[in-house]
Chain A
Amino acid sequence: MMEQQNAQMPLADLRNVSLNYDGRFLALSDLTLTLEPGRIYGLLGPNGSGKTTLIKILAGLLTQTAGTVTIGGCPVGPETKAHVSYLPDRPFLESGMTVEEAMALYADFYQDFDMQRAEDMLERLKLGKRSRLNKLSKGTLEKVQLILVMSRKADLYLLDEPIAGVDPAARDYILETIISNYDPKATILISTHLISDVEKILDDVIMLQYGRLLHKASVEDMRAERGESIDAIFRKEFKC
């Protein structure tokens, strides 16, 4: 997949993508969007705007009902999954496992898993590898899951609400982990409703509403043009 890529080619390319769950409700509607390599995107939108649906399509867990989605030039499938690292919005590891077992599972499952990187990050957390996942606090479990996801050398990281429900200190740890561990050529898509906590680490924002693309813009350009934070702009756009 990497061989096919060049500077002009987007990492992910979505064209006229729609998804309807029961024939009526459109979770995504005619969405056309590209993601470039080496950028961190914030995926923003109110509840039900299609953020998780978009992420699941890119992760290969849902299939669009219309349109095309390619990653590195290939349609989403087993080949693209090997290059995409996905953090779901809810706990995804079997709770009786130890941290060590979860790491071994990841190393087994993903060829691009970097055990050394995972161990270095765990050491910073000062967390014993023998700890059982169901004994960890919510914030610590989220950190462990993020460590596993960021320890893969993927081309695309999909992080669905990585900082929801953790305290501010844990948020800082998570954001720092994201900044200091990603390959500058990789792409990160972070969905969140905690915009003010995340906006300083973003390159671009993608705003969704009713499954449609409302905005895609550089955060620095938006700040320069409007003299406001992305959080303030978002609040105005989506005012009830």
Chain B
Amino acid sequence: MPWNLSSDRPIFQQIIEHMELEIVQGVYEPGQRLPSVRELAAQAAVNPNTMQRALSEMERMGLMHSERTSGRYITEDESMIKALKKELAGGEISRFLEQMRRLGYSGEELLTVLKEEMRKGEGK
């Protein structure tokens, strides 16, 4: 997945968002070993200290852990990855609801158009 980082907000936050998505999608599997900070920084074309900061933050969140000699690993705790998935979905849904409110949809009416669009999507 390309990194597509934008320069107008902190890069370390965008790295976290990007890697969270990859963990949820299974690009990185539970327990998988990560490349070195330098390799990841080169891949993303970002400053190595910024990459380090993002990884440390994800360690603090419990999504990764490092072993002193062998490197850094994705968590084996699948319930944590499920919780992360739900949290990311929650964020997307609240953004969606906010947009729909701006368009004037709420309650039953919102559910109706949503179901209608989902049916169309299934037909494709």
Question: Which residues in A have some Cβ–Cβ distance to B below 8 Å?
Answer: 38-40, 172, 175-176, 179-180, 184, 196, 199-203, 219-220, 223-224, 227-232
In whole Å, how far is A164's beta carbon from the nearest beta carbon of chain B?
18
Q: How many residues of B contact A (CB 8 A)?
A: 19
- The proximity string for B residues 1-45 relative to A, scoring 1 for CB distances below 8 Å and 0 otherwise, is 000011111111000000000000000000000000011011001
In whole Å, how far is B69's beta carbon from the nearest beta carbon of chain A?
17
In whole Å, how far is A202's beta carbon from the nearest beta carbon of chain B?
6
Q: Are A200 and B11 in contact (CB under 8 A)?
A: yes
Apart from A172-B45, A203-B50, A229-B7, 14 more pairs, CB < 8 Å: A40-B49, A179-B41, A179-B42, A179-B45, A180-B38, A180-B42, A196-B7, A200-B47, A201-B47, A219-B47, A220-B50, A223-B8, A223-B10, A229-B8
Q: Are B47 and A40 in contact (CB under 8 A)?
A: yes
Q: Are A230 and B45 in contact (CB under 8 A)?
A: no
Closest to B8 in A: A229
In whole Å, how far is A32's beta carbon from the nearest beta carbon of chain B?
24
Check A220/B7 contact, CB under 8 A, given A179-B45, A179-B48: no
- CA of A227 to CA of B11, assembled, Å: 11
* Contacts across chains A and B counted by CB atoms under 8 Å: 59
Set of chain A residues within 8 Å of B47, measured between Cβ atoms: 40, 179, 200-203, 219
- CA of A175 to CA of B46, assembled, Å: 9
Set of chain A residues within 8 Å of B38, measured between Cβ atoms: 179-180, 184
Other-chain contact of A223, B11, B39, B49 (Cβ < 8 Å) = B11
Q: Are A220 and B41 in contact (CB under 8 A)?
A: no
Check A232/B8 contact, CB under 8 A, given A180-B38, A180-B39, A180-B42: yes
- CA of A196 to CA of B50, assembled, Å: 17
- CA of A224 to CA of B14, assembled, Å: 12
Set of chain B residues within 8 Å of A172, measured between Cβ atoms: 45
- CA of A232 to CA of B7, assembled, Å: 9
In whole Å, how far is B40's beta carbon from the nearest beta carbon of chain A?
10
Set of chain A residues within 8 Å of B5, measured between Cβ atoms: 200
In whole Å, how far is B110's beta carbon from the nearest beta carbon of chain A?
31
- CA of A197 to CA of B95, assembled, Å: 31
In whole Å, how far is A117's beta carbon from the nearest beta carbon of chain B?
14
Q: 28 interchain pairs (CB within 8 A)?
A: A40-B47, A172-B45, A175-B45, A179-B41, A179-B45, A179-B48, A180-B41, A184-B38, A184-B48, A200-B11, A200-B45, A200-B47, A202-B47, A203-B47, A203-B49, A203-B50, A219-B47, A220-B10, A220-B12, A223-B7, A223-B8, A223-B9, A223-B10, A224-B9, A224-B10, A229-B6, A230-B7, A232-B8
- CA of A40 to CA of B45, assembled, Å: 13
- CA of A38 to CA of B38, assembled, Å: 13
Q: Are A176 and B45 in contact (CB under 8 A)?
A: yes
Set of chain A residues within 8 Å of B50, measured between Cβ atoms: 200, 203, 220
Set of chain A residues within 8 Å of B45, measured between Cβ atoms: 172, 175-176, 179, 200-201
